[in-house]
Amino acid sequence: MDNQEIEKIVTEMAVKGKRASRKLSALPTAVKNAILLDTADILEREKEFIRTENAKDLAAGREKGLSPAMLDRLELSDKVIASMVQGLHEIAALPDPVGEIDDMKRRPSGITVGRMRIPLGVVGMIYESRPNVTIDAAALCLKAGNGVFLRGGSEAIHSNLALATLLQKVLASHSVPEEVVQVLPITDRHGVRAMLAQEENIDVVIPRGGEGLIRFVTETSRIPVLKHYKGVCHVFVDRSADEDMGINIALNGKTQRPGVCNALEGLLVHKDIAGVFLPAAAKRLMAAGVELLGCAESCALVPAMTPAAEDDWGTEFLELKMIVRIVEDMDEAIAYIDSHGSQHTEVIVTSSYENSQRFLREVDASAVMVNASTRFNDGGQFGLGAEIGISTTKLHAYGPMGLEELTTRKFIVYGEGEVRS
Amino acid sequence: MDNQEIEKIVTEMAVKGKRASRKLSALPTAVKNAILLDTADILEREKEFIRTENAKDLAAGREKGLSPAMLDRLELSDKVIASMVQGLHEIAALPDPVGEIDDMKRRPSGITVGRMRIPLGVVGMIYESRPNVTIDAAALCLKAGNGVFLRGGSEAIHSNLALATLLQKVLASHSVPEEVVQVLPITDRHGVRAMLAQEENIDVVIPRGGEGLIRFVTETSRIPVLKHYKGVCHVFVDRSADEDMGINIALNGKTQRPGVCNALEGLLVHKDIAGVFLPAAAKRLMAAGVELLGCAESCALVPAMTPAAEDDWGTEFLELKMIVRIVEDMDEAIAYIDSHGSQHTEVIVTSSYENSQRFLREVDASAVMVNASTRFNDGGQFGLGAEIGISTTKLHAYGPMGLEELTTRKFIVYGEGEVRS
């Protein structure tokens, strides 16, 4: 297939998707929930079909020499199918944000003005190998009244198409045009480019995957992109911190699940507490298998640390490794976070009221916390229900994105014939 | 100056602006308001200086053969200076959105999570000749805690630089780094390109001007753009409409100020009421000097109408001209708006409860109104205070943008040592 053919197919799909999404925006909550629950049922009923299609991807993956970790992520095991089913039930149970009206106010002119929450339109998802994203993302988009245009990793193409086929069957049974959920059947990279040029038909793009994919999407797209590149999260242990609390929060942030974006990558310690705190913290962190990359002063206090190399500062390790740095004061901690953090999650451990307030106010990150683990920066933990991703850019959404972030608000006006003078 | 030099200058300015904007985000409301009021004073005190610099632009404009209308927009007359002064007073009186906290909720884990409103960072403004935008936009950005990087029309360069110089004097007198407000001193078009590449240092771009400028900015920018291309607004007069109300709303929408984006461009009339309504409405509209471009059925009813040409449908006339079309029913009205509107402002005139609700729900526009003039779609009329622009794209803001739309919200967490299990 040449590039022109690809562009033609993508444009046709996108136009149909946009048109179909209009039907969805006015669909009653009960119908949307029935679609989600019926999808849960069909996933269980058609497990054989899903496994057969998934087996094609797994076989091709083995042939291509994918790593065991990648094959694991590709597999639609019973456990993964069960988790998709559970996700569908959870999303069906969430309140529907569409149609919510607030801020209604009478204006001096006589008109009454408020805002009504509405779907964004069509969401473009571009993601790497995990095929369960196909169902998870489609379900969230549908519940928020959006169409969805999905482009998963080429290794998962049979799995993604199989899951979309089942979802489309359910949509048809509820008289909803099946084009509200579409998986791009083209694995050629140019398909992504063609998709990112559909500014008239796709309202927002959410990429999920490694930094390389996200940079490619951001640089190529003419559609607004909601994204985060990486999570370089820090804990600052203030002079007045409770020592045990500081250690527990550092340990939890680094070791509870090191491979995710809200895992801890750096520990900043106030110089007045470092002499007591650092040896004790280092002991427990190292006992948990964490390699500590320290500044010169830290290494002097705890000789078992590895001296940090210049490019360790600001690195997202995603493994049992973190930097440790002694700072003069809170100013230095905030300045360090400003220049090395990724605006994801930043924590202060402190007993000082003033410092807690100042940290909350002045640190620029999607989530800023006092005395809690970075691992809480998550849609579920924050009470948004499920999340479709996280944004570390400030426009539209900053932090975990749930159903509400998949909507926007229009102004509505009730008048009685008012005109402007 | 070659392109590389331009890029170097722009990058240096943008880096300084970004750094300076951090100071602004934590500035107390009282200091921000004092800056705005002192700016109002200095504009009055330094009127001579302003007029002298403005005279240079006017002279150059006359030499270049600018139209009288353009020269008029370029002039910083006493009246325009007075309106900038008044705008500064009004913005100083608006509540400060920064630091507002809401949605605080205790979560099952024990943490308390909420959202704090914070500035976006640095706003890039790209606008055409009116130099008063320099003060109006800078004032709104400052009040919301943002730095601002301004690039006005090249014809207004002396005026814009003069206004920025005065504002920077006031900033310095309050110990705020003057780089929070910068006017690009480069009139070469490549300066805009270089500015639109500053994704690390400018957080959002707001273009104001003609459709050509806005398309250029959108296509060039790697920074998110908040914009509207044009306002093609309609009134649908339903079967049950009050006849006089329909005429008044059409007349006000079209004639009260025809050159602005919320002016009316099209009248859709339900076929059941057309025979009575259209002749009466046409009479009053034509008496007010409006040229009516009608569909075949409309022209049959009112032979004084001009038959509409194919490309009149969906045109933004911005003068005393509008299309008139008879529709079968509400479905046809909504479908017409969908394909010919610009998602700006859409109005139904009706006495039917069901139709009012359906129109509010199903029509996709930044403002959807029942029984009121399109001319109300405006930040001041809607109660936002001043407005920095209007957005007809759905991400971040949809409709008039005031102080709140110049901010975003981060998550904040209060814990007592909670970790994730």
What tens digit of pLDDT does each residue of A304-315 get?
999 999 999 999
Q: Does B339 touch chain A (CB under 8 A)?
A: no
Q: Assign domain A233-376 one CATH number from 3.60.21.10, 3.65.10.10, 3.50.30.60, 3.40.309.10.
A: 3.40.309.10
User: What is the spatial distance between Cα A28 and Cα A413, in angstroms, rounded to a whole number?
Assistant: 22
Q: Does A68 touch chain B (CB under 8 A)?
A: no
- Per-residue pLDDT of A82-103, as tens digits, reads 999 999 999 999 999 999 999 9
Nearest 5°: CA angle at A84, between A78 and A90?
Answer: 135
- Per-residue pLDDT of B333-379, as tens digits, reads 999 999 999 999 999 999 999 999 999 999 999 999 999 999 999 99
Quick check: A420 and B252 CB within 8 A?
A: yes
Residue window 8-37, chain B: list those with CB within 8 Å of chain A.
Answer: 22, 25-26
Quick check: A414 and B107 CB within 8 A?
A: no
* Residue A386 pLDDT greater than 90, yes or no: no
Quick check: B368 and A121 CB within 8 A?
A: no
Which of the four pLDDT bands, split at 50, 70 and 90, describes residue A50?
Answer: very high
Beta-ladder partners of A148: A123, A181
Residue window 246-285, chain B: list those with CB within 8 Å of chain A.
Answer: 248-249, 251-252, 256
Q: Select from A113, A249, A362 the Cβ nearest to the Cβ of B419.
A: A249
Q: Residues of B with CB below 8 A from A15's CB?
A: none
Q: Residues of A with CB below 8 A from B203's CB?
A: 393-395
Q: Select from A248, A370, A381 the Cβ nearest to the Cβ of B107.
A: A381
Q: Select from B121, B398, B420 the Cβ nearest to the Cβ of A373.
A: B420
- The SS3 of residue B8 is helix
CA torsion sign for A302, A305, A311, A317 is: negative
User: What is the spatial distance between Cα B382 and Cα A109, in angstroms, rounded to a whole number?
Assistant: 10
At residue A258, the pLDDT reads: 95
How far is the alpha carbon of B321 from chain A, nearest alpha carbon, in Å? 19
pTM of the model: 0.93
Report the mean per-residue pLDDT for chain A. Answer: 96
User: What is the spatial distance between Cα A10 and Cα B182, in angstroms, rounded to a whole number?
Assistant: 43
Lowest mean pLDDT among A243-247, A371-375, A415-419, B214-218: B214-218
Cα→Cα distances A97→A17, A189, A406, B176, B226, Å: 22, 35, 9, 41, 24
DSSP B33-63: HHHHHHHHHHHHHTHHHHHHHHHHHHHHHHH
Q: Does A352 touch chain B (CB under 8 A)?
A: no
Average pLDDT over residues A362-391: 95
At residue B222, the pLDDT reads: 84
At residue B385, the pLDDT reads: 86
Q: C-alpha dihedral over B385, B390, B392, B396, to 10 degrees? A: -60
At residue A385, the pLDDT reads: 86
CB A134 within 8 A of CB A160: yes
At residue A315, the pLDDT reads: 97
Q: Does B411 touch chain A (CB under 8 A)?
A: yes
Name which of A3, A413, A388, A332 is nearest A190 in CA terms: A3
- The SS3 of residue B143 is helix
Describe chain B by its helix, strand, coil percentages, rounded to 5: 50, 20, 30
Q: DSSP letter at B342?
A: -
At residue A128, the pLDDT reads: 87
CATH no., domain B3-227+401-413: 3.40.605.10
Say yes or no: do domains B3-227+401-413 and B233-381 share a fold.
no
How far is the alpha carbon of B308 from chain A, nearest alpha carbon, in Å? 27
SS in 3 state form for chain A?
CCHHHHHHHHHHHHHHHHHHHHHHHCCCHHHHHHHHHHHHHHHHHCHHHHHHHHHHHHHHHHHHCCCHHHHHHHCCCHHHHHHHHHHHHHHHHCCCCCCCEEEEEECCCCCEEEEEEEECCEEEEEECCCCHHHHHHHHHHHHCCCEEEEECCHHHHHHHHHHHHHHHHHHHHCCCCHHHEEECCCCCCHHHHHHHCCCCCCCEEEEECCHHHHHHHHHHCCCCECCCCCCCEEEEECCCCCHHHHHHHHHHHHHCCCCCCCCEEEEEEEHHHHHHHHHHHHHHHHHCCCEEEECHHHHHHCCCCEECCHHHCCCCCCCCEEEEEEECCHHHHHHHHHHHCCCCEEEEECCCHHHHHHHHHHCCCCEEEEEECHHHCCHHHHCCCCCCEEECCCCCCCEEECCHHHEEEEEEEEEEEECCC
Which of the four pLDDT bands, split at 50, 70 and 90, describes residue A298?
Answer: very high
CA torsion sign for B179, B181, B186, B192 is: positive
* Residue A349 pLDDT greater than 90, yes or no: yes
At residue B229, the pLDDT reads: 87
User: What is the spatial distance between Cα A58 and Cα B128, in angstroms, rounded to a whole number?
Assistant: 57
Which of the four pLDDT bands, split at 50, 70 and 90, describes residue B156?
Answer: very high
Name which of A127, A262, A146 is nearest A206 in CA terms: A127
Q: Where are the domains of chain B?
A: 3-227+401-413, 233-381
User: What is the spatial distance between Cα A290 and Cα A321, in angstroms, rounded to a whole number?
Assistant: 5
* Residue A129 pLDDT greater than 80, yes or no: no
* Residue B1 pLDDT greater than 90, yes or no: no
Q: Select from B376, B414, B421 the Cβ nearest to the Cβ of A413.
A: B376
At residue B39, the pLDDT reads: 98
Q: Select from B367, B395, B412 the Cβ nearest to the Cβ of A396.
A: B395
Which residue in chain A has the smallest CA separation from B251? A419
| ipTM, two decimals | 0.94
Q: Select from A113, A204, A375 the Cβ nearest to the Cβ of B395.
A: A204
Percentage above 90 pLDDT, chain B:
93
Give the CATH architecture of domain B233-381.
3-Layer(aba) Sandwich (3.40)
Which of the four pLDDT bands, split at 50, 70 and 90, describes residue B135?
Answer: very high
CB A375 within 8 A of CB B331: no
Q: Select from B25, B366, B395 the Cβ nearest to the Cβ of A410.
A: B366
Average pLDDT over residues A60-79: 94
Which of the four pLDDT bands, split at 50, 70 and 90, describes residue B89?
Answer: very high
Look up residue B391 and give its two tokens. 């957005």
Q: Does A63 touch chain B (CB under 8 A)?
A: no
CATH no., domain A8-227: 3.40.605.10
Look up residue B244 and give its two tokens. 């006089």
At residue A222, the pLDDT reads: 85
Percentage above 70 pLDDT, chain B:
100
Average pLDDT over residues A158-180: 97
At residue B386, the pLDDT reads: 84
- Per-residue pLDDT of B218-253, as tens digits, reads 888 889 999 988 999 999 999 999 999 999 999 999
Instruction: Quote the radius of gyration of chain A (alpha carbons, Å).
Output: 24
At residue A311, the pLDDT reads: 96
At residue A112, the pLDDT reads: 98
Which of the four pLDDT bands, split at 50, 70 and 90, describes residue B168?
Answer: very high
* Residue B49 pLDDT greater than 80, yes or no: yes
**Interface contacts A/B by beta carbons within 8 Å:** 214
**Mutation site, B376, B384, B387, B391, interface A, largest A CB count within 10 A:** B376
Q: Residues of A with CB below 8 A from B365's CB?
A: 410
Residue window 93-112, chain A: list those with CB within 8 Å of chain B.
Answer: 99, 105, 107, 109, 111
Instruction: Quote the radius of gyration of chain B (alpha carbons, Å).
Output: 24
Q: Residues of A with CB below 8 A from B408's CB?
A: 394-395, 398
Which of the four pLDDT bands, split at 50, 70 and 90, describes residue A219?
Answer: confident
